Structure 1
Amino acid sequence: MNPLSCGRVSCPSSIISNSGCLRLCFRSCSCCISARNSLVSSAIDMPPYDEGCGGKYTRDAAASCTMRPMIEFGVSLPTIGMDDPSAVRLVAEQAETSGLDSVWAADHIVLPTSHTSTYPYSADGEFLIAPGLPFLDQFTTLAYVAGFTSRVKLGTAVTLLPLRHPLAAAKTTATLDVLSGGRSILGVAAGWLREEFEALGLDFDQRGAVLDESLRLVRAAWTEQEVRFEGRFFDVSGVESYPHPAQTPHPPIWIGGHTKPVMRRAARYGDAWFPPLFATTPQALAEAHRAMNEEAATAGRGNGAVALSLRVLVDLRSDPDLAGAEKRGALTGEPQRIAATLAEYAEAGVSHFVFLPQARSLADVQRTIDLLSAKVVPELR
């Protein structure tokens, strides 16, 4: 094992070789943060900069090095509009065999038949899901996928945590992490659909404050022998929550969204920030991420505590809906063009891209994964 490797199953090596290039693991677990710090402070020999390596490392005459993160890629499972377990299985297996790093499932408990809420993840504010479509539960789906995969991470994109008691969410995620061998990622957000909160008898206007407190309680449930918590919304003592997750200290928490409250939340509680591509530019993203990590460091979380991931809608169908893609902020065009766009975001610090294929059928999803894994991903690795 490499001396700078953390040795965990979910992160077998912090320094790996790829065609002669060294690449650094930028996972947000504490062991990998330690490995990165060890590398930066050490005097180990590194190869010279080589254009053929894609500039993964550079080393100048003064022996200072500039590192880019090892980039990972994931894909959303077909949990919306399809209720066929074979479709979920085919896409998950395709992701695993094609070299993608993660699979993801979205979240809504109920959807209103009509609403006036503005959807924050499309350019025109319109919700992307038509009424009457099936919407599979994310945790049940990911547990199903865990049973026939062995490598891909299993992420929620995202869990609307204020819709659930945080102890229930902590238990479900910890169980998924244990049963999958430490492969879970908990992506969270506050939610946007007022009518969904009202249907569940929950206060929509307090969702941000509830989410902040919930994140603290989830961490406590994952790490403490006896859970003790006293807050504005939750008061817990004299209970335990086992099993704890397989990952140490816990599964990564990704904070979804792109507003200023989201950025503050990510700085305080997140292992990664998870905004949508359409809402930002590479330059703005890099500046916001830098400020976020400065705030995290001020709060005592250490340098580089918050990684950067990105939610990317892609329409690679042979007959893409160009007008719809513009409304949704989806990337279209030749795979090489998409790779060039994503390369700008990689330069801005993105270490994990999560693709949401725009599709009318399972065949569309599979074609998109084939093109991404063959013509986009290799350009960025």
Structure 2
Amino acid sequence: MKFGVSTFVTDEGIGPAVLGRALEERGFASLFVAEHTHIPVKRESPWPGGAELPRVYYRTLDPFVALTAAAVVTERLEVGTGIALIVQRDPIVLAKEVASLDLVSGGRAVMGVGAGWNREEMRNHGTDPRTRMRLLNERVLAVKALWTEEEAEFHGEFVDFDPVFSYPKPVRDPHPPVLIGGSGPTTFDRVLAVGDGWMPIYGRGTEDLAGQIAELRRRAGHRVPVTVFAVPPEAEVIAELDEAGVDQILFTLKTEPEAETLRTLDSLAGLL
């Protein structure tokens, strides 16, 4: 089982290049970063994590800029989105961003995706919250077509383009893995239809994680990779997830200045 961290990279915390180097030096396998393009001032959508939206949500760096900074100072660290709000992103631009990250990192990019919870935010991008799951599926498939086909085209309900050339192509074969976030009643349908792995949040619909993983892999007919977010840094929990068949766990790294972050990483590294 691999160990990584997920975090919000902001203008008020440790820089992504310093963070990436520190993670690799301590033996971590991956860095996943969150994204929000903006936070609407008038917001009615409840945050799933509680009543008050944390400050870091307002101040995230662009994930691909942050991940590129981490990638160019490391050699082994996987760099991924956790999660990219694909329903708020143009798929042609997104395909180029992720493929470019994969190229400059030497094949270490991972694209975790989700539909998001902030309805006001997605409406500002022209996305209807009611159809965001169907939109997510189409955009993932369109991105994969752009990554893998010489003259890619896509014709769907929401995404529609005639044959195009899109470069660069990813380094990783056949393409960077697409991890589907969430743990709702239709999540496995999305994983099986468009994804390459599952990425739930620990404690949110994962009470029977071992059973869920077994069911997902039974339906797929093969070992679907599973990465779990927000894992408590406790030996008992880590052992439980290892036994359940989890492939990678991500500790939540609080957004803090460099000195405080490095002390936290030193403590977490003791669990590896």
Same fold (TM over 0.5): yes
Q: Does 1:311 align with 2:207?
A: no
Cα distance in 2 for partners of 1:128, 1:339 equals: 29
Larger radius of gyration: 1
AA in 2 matched with 1:287: G
Q: Could you tell me how far apart the structure 1 residues matched to 2:165 and 2:51 are?
A: 42
The 5 Å alignment of 1:126-137 reads: 126=51, 128-130=53-55, 133-137=58-62
CA contact (8 A) 1:254 1:271 kept: yes
SS of 1:225's equivalent in the other structure is coil
The question of 1:373 aligning with 2:269 is answered yes
What does residue range 177-326 of structure 1 map to in structure 2 within 5 Å?
177-281=102-206, 284-297=208-221, 303-304=222-223, 306-312=224-230
So what's the TM-score if we normalise by structure 2?
0.93
In terms of mean alpha carbon deviation, does 161-170 or 351-360 score higher? Answer: 351-360
Q: Does the 8 Å contact 2:178/2:196 carry over to 1?
A: yes
Contact 1:113 1:131 in 2 (8 A): no
CA change 1:294–1:268 in 2 (3 A) is farther
Q: Aligned-pair distance for 1:87?
A: 2.8
**1:128 to 1:340, Cα distance in 2 relative to 1, 3 A:** farther
- Residue 95 (structure 1) shift: 0.2
What is the match of residue 46 of structure 2? 118
Q: Deviations over 1:186-226 (max 9, x none)?
A: 00001110010122232121110000111111111111111
Kept in 2, the 8 Å contact 1:227–1:239? The answer is yes
With structure 1 as the length reference, what TM-score do the two structures score? 0.67
In 2, the alpha carbon distance for the partners of 1:98 and 1:155 equals 18
Structure 1 residue 343: deviation in Å? 0.9
Q: Distance in 1 between matches of 2:12 and 2:105?
A: 23
Distance 2:15 2:99 in 1: 26
Q: Distance in 2 between matches of 1:233 and 1:154?
A: 29
Q: Please list every run of 5 or more consecutive structure 1 residues that lacks an aligned counterpart in the other structure.
A: 1-70, 298-302, 314-330
Specify the alignment match of 1:152 in structure 2.
77
- For 1:74, the equivalent position in structure 2 comes to 4
- Contact 1:264/1:292 (<8 A) preserved: no
Q: Give the corresponding residue for 2:19.
A: 91
Query: Post-superposition shift, 1:147?
Result: 1.7
What is the CA–CA distance in structure 2 between the aligned matches of 1:251 and 1:95, rounded to whole Å? 21
In structure 2, distance between residues paired with 1:357 and 1:195: 27
In structure 2, distance between residues paired with 1:76 and 1:165: 24
- For 2:16 and 2:212, the matched residues in 1 are separated by 35
Q: Which residue of the other structure, out of 89, 106, 115, is the alignment partner of 2:34? A: 106
Unaligned stretches of 5+ residues in structure 2: none
| Aligned equivalent of 1:351, options 232, 242, 247 | 247
- 1:359, CA displacement in angstroms? 5.1
Measure how far apart 1:78 and its partner are.
Answer: 4.8
Task: Tell me the SS of whatever aligns to 1:172.
Answer: helix
The structure whose RCO (Cα within 8 Å, separation 6+) is larger is 2
Query: Could you tell me how far apart the structure 2 residues matched to 1:144 and 1:292 are?
Result: 35
Q: Distance in 2 between matches of 1:346 and 1:88?
A: 29
8 A contact 1:99–1:373 mirrored in 2 = yes
